[in-house]
Structure 1
Amino acid sequence: MSERVIKPVGRGFLFLDSHPAGCAQLVRDLAAQVDRRTPERRTALVIGSSSGYGLATTIAGLARYGIDGVGVSFEKAPTARRTATAGWYRTAETAALAAELGSSFSFVNADAFADTTKTEVLDLIAERFGGIDHLIYSVAAPRRVDPRNGETYQSAIKAIGAAHTTKSLAFDDGQPVLQEVGIEVATDDEIAQTVKVMGGEDWARWVEALSERGLLNPGFNTVALTYIGSDLTGPIYRQGSIGAAKADLEQTALTLSKDGVQAMTSVNGAAVTQASSAIPGIGLYVSLLHNVLGDELQSPIQQSIALWDQLTGATPLDLDDEGRIRLDRWELNDDVQSAVRDRWESANQDNITNVADTAWFFAEVRRLYGFDVPTTNYESPTEVDTPWP
């Protein structure tokens, strides 16, 4: 047993420790928002199941449809000096939730890009389930080692074509600071490496590996989660190096859709995640969006419920002209975007807390690490040596 009081220590949007009890409560709070359905049992593989939309998709699948299957993520265990990563604790609680719901759901802690991980996971699927009905791909990583040539690729958050300057939100001692951030132009090599990390190559390798092993059940479908977003963030996101990777992801869906495989990308709406908070301008944009929409801003768990309803056939697929599932229509509504743009253009240091929900955004970032979660006692010691499930 190793109990201690955990406090949020870090800089900006990064914290050195995570709070185990807060992370566990967050999982329970998300599950409590899901209404149960009892359809035919389904088996799923979720790549990137410990955080962001991958976590929300896993919890929604378990709590709504009682899915069986496997979740894959790459988290750090606790050490003598530091707690485990937040995803470690969230996974432990998600496993407990699955057991209570009667689902046979296992979690593998390993590099999703590695061939050894694919072999381990596919062996597990073959042994326990004989095949899967759904593959959810939700991976946000800064780098990737290609197992076929040993080369390491590094993603870049840069503009394409011309340098760009954007307003961005930072925090100094918890207080919001509006900044101007310059975005450099990506080189051709940086764009290519970003595509290698965040594009569709690894997703395709997972589907191909499953197919080669005969582990795709009849009616199998797969989605890779993606984002388009606003024109306000376009130069750094959709028209930038990240956007090149997202375009590759969408092209991969078209390539994979053959021989009984239905492959799609799911365009999710803006959310506060560990990946998105690191991108200049996104924090400000999401804060402004919440100021406009309030409780009408659809959370990852709400969108994940809608995604599962569509993947299982409970509701029709909501596809755009390019065959992408659209879960972001609420965000890109013309009136919503007009209101966000007005706030973006008028935002300055003096009015930032009025035009943007900065306190909400900072609290959401802290919740990613298990802090600011209601009903959690942060003054009491908590066990940090939680085992991997």
Structure 2
Amino acid sequence: MSERVLTPRNRGFLFLDSHPAGCEQLVADMWQACPDPANVPEGAGPVALIIGSSAGYGLAATLAGLKRAGIRGIMVSFEKAPTERRTATAGWYRTAATADIARTAGRDLVFLNGDAFSDTMKNEVADLIEQRFGGRLDYLIYSVAAPRRTDPDTGTTYASVLKPIGQANRTKTLLFDDQGVPEVREVETGPAEDDDVDQTVAVMGGADWERWVDHLAGRNLLGDGFATAALSYIGSPLTAAIYRQGTIGAAKAHLEATARTLNELLEKTVGGRAVTSVNGAAVTQSSTAIPGIALYTGLLRGVVGEHMVPPVHQLAALWDQLTGAAPLTVDDEGRVRLDNWELTDDVQAAVAERWEAATTNTIADLADLAWFRAEVQRLYGFSVPGIDYTAAVATDIPWPTYTP
């Protein structure tokens, strides 16, 4: 097993390597931060399928589901193994750490690595539910953020884009140079053209979520009362032009329409529910790619400080609602809202004021830059408290296996 001293090497917010020990500690910290349930689940626990389980809110859903609901079941993600030149992706190491926690907790979780959009993966999951988990699925959490998707029926590959709709958008964004010096810069993004909207909806809308539910229903694997949630985001008016009103927003609207369609179907067939869960802001590998989101998130943290609700706390609340430990509360669009702490009038007014005042010269006084930069590094296992980054660490960590 190879050992190396790893230091962060990055191009903007994208890091070339990940730190296994840091990723492991980060998962352990999330596990400890997740609140304990009022009543510890007993017995085998409900069967859950989490698609996109290795990062961001999907990882939070996995850990919160383990602790709050005592889930067992199948976790699906798409990660790269270590090579001679590169470490594995951070999600690979986070998955290995999550598997260790599940084993210690006595929960039977199977971790699959592959293309969640493919029918091959859907068949593998269905077979496992049938053969290993008694032929009944209780919950499905859908948390997939991908740049492209190949339709299994047609073989067509769609690519998503981050563009406004109708006209170009000019917005502030936050960057750091190689020495970590912050810069607030204005960037312009041209409007969606040709089939950009359709392509983005095909990748990030509800088509694959619906396909998963249809596939499992076709195999008679949905238990009575089956519930499914797709994780989503609305965000601030400050980022709406590039996000909620842009191509990604069109995909989110399609996701929400899909939830209403699925909810009607599931109510009739298994007495079940389908919802979208609108989560609050967080630093994720996906969000840092969106113009303006980094600046907004840093300013938001500057306003709310320690009152910023971490993903694992938000997903604990979602699991409580899905399992009946708390009432399932939805808005007029059928969405569970976990972002209320972020979108209050006073918080948004304070962030908007800072946004207007934000320049390269003022940003250090307006945003929590130390927190934001550390959060970005922690996505890859760096800047995690308690880790000795001068020590060599084993990088060839195996993917969690299971006994058939």
Q: What residue identity is the alignment partner of 1:39? A: P
Distance in 1 between residues matched to 2:183 and 2:130, nearest whole Å:
52
* 1:48-96, Cα deviation, whole Å (9 max, x unpaired): 0000000001011112222101000000000000000000000000001
**1:22 paired to 2:22:** yes
Distance in 1 between residues matched to 2:36 and 2:301, nearest whole Å:
28
2:363 to 328, 337, 352: 352
Partner of 1:368 in structure 2? 379
Corresponding pairs, count: 389
Q: What residue identity is the alignment partner of 2:386? A: T
* 1:16-39, Cα deviation, whole Å (9 max, x unpaired): 000000000000000001233323
2:390 to 357, 379, 387: 379
The answer to whether the Cα contact below 8 Å between 2:168 and 2:189 also exists between their aligned partners in 1 is yes
Distance in 2 between residues matched to 1:202 and 1:385, nearest whole Å:
32
Distance in 1 between residues matched to 2:368 and 2:275, nearest whole Å:
33
The Cα of 1:324 is off from its aligned counterpart by 0.4
Distance in 2 between residues matched to 1:35 and 1:51, nearest whole Å:
19
The answer to whether the Cα contact below 8 Å between 2:35 and 2:313 also exists between their aligned partners in 1 is no
**Structure 1 moving runs of 4+ over 3 Å:** none
**1:97 paired to 2:80:** no
The answer to whether the Cα contact below 8 Å between 1:47 and 1:139 also exists between their aligned partners in 2 is yes
**1:209 paired to 2:215:** yes
Partner of 1:187 in structure 2? 193
Note the 1:1-389 alignment, pairs <5 A. Answer: 1-37=1-37, 38-39=40-41, 41-129=45-133, 130-173=135-178, 174-257=180-263, 258=265, 259-260=269-270, 261-389=272-400
CA RMSD of aligned residues (A): 0.8
Distance in 2 between residues matched to 1:92 and 1:33, nearest whole Å:
19
The Cα of 1:322 is off from its aligned counterpart by 1.0
Segments of structure 2 that go 5 or more residues without pairing to the other structure are: none
Distance in 1 between residues matched to 2:4 and 2:314, nearest whole Å:
36
Distance in 2 between residues matched to 1:31 and 1:63, nearest whole Å:
8
Percent identity for Structure 1 against Structure 2: 62
Distance in 2 between residues matched to 1:169 and 1:241, nearest whole Å:
21
What SS does the aligned partner of 2:188 have? strand
Segments of structure 1 that go 5 or more residues without pairing to the other structure are: none
Distance in 2 between residues matched to 1:169 and 1:23, nearest whole Å:
25
Distance in 2 between residues matched to 1:387 and 1:321, nearest whole Å:
45
The answer to whether the Cα contact below 8 Å between 1:36 and 1:65 also exists between their aligned partners in 2 is no
The answer to whether the Cα contact below 8 Å between 2:5 and 2:389 also exists between their aligned partners in 1 is yes
The Cα of 1:321 is off from its aligned counterpart by 1.0
Q: What residue identity is the alignment partner of 1:43? A: V
Distance in 1 between residues matched to 2:376 and 2:275, nearest whole Å:
29
The Cα of 1:240 is off from its aligned counterpart by 0.2
* 1:271-292, Cα deviation, whole Å (9 max, x unpaired): 1000000000000000000000
What SS does the aligned partner of 2:33 have? coil
* 1:147-178, Cα deviation, whole Å (9 max, x unpaired): 11111100000000111100000110211111
Distance in 2 between residues matched to 1:317 and 1:181, nearest whole Å:
40
What SS does the aligned partner of 1:206 have? helix
Distance in 1 between residues matched to 2:36 and 2:295, nearest whole Å:
35
The Cα of 1:319 is off from its aligned counterpart by 1.0
Distance in 2 between residues matched to 1:172 and 1:121, nearest whole Å:
43
Distance in 2 between residues matched to 1:365 and 1:131, nearest whole Å:
38
Distance in 2 between residues matched to 1:249 and 1:35, nearest whole Å:
29
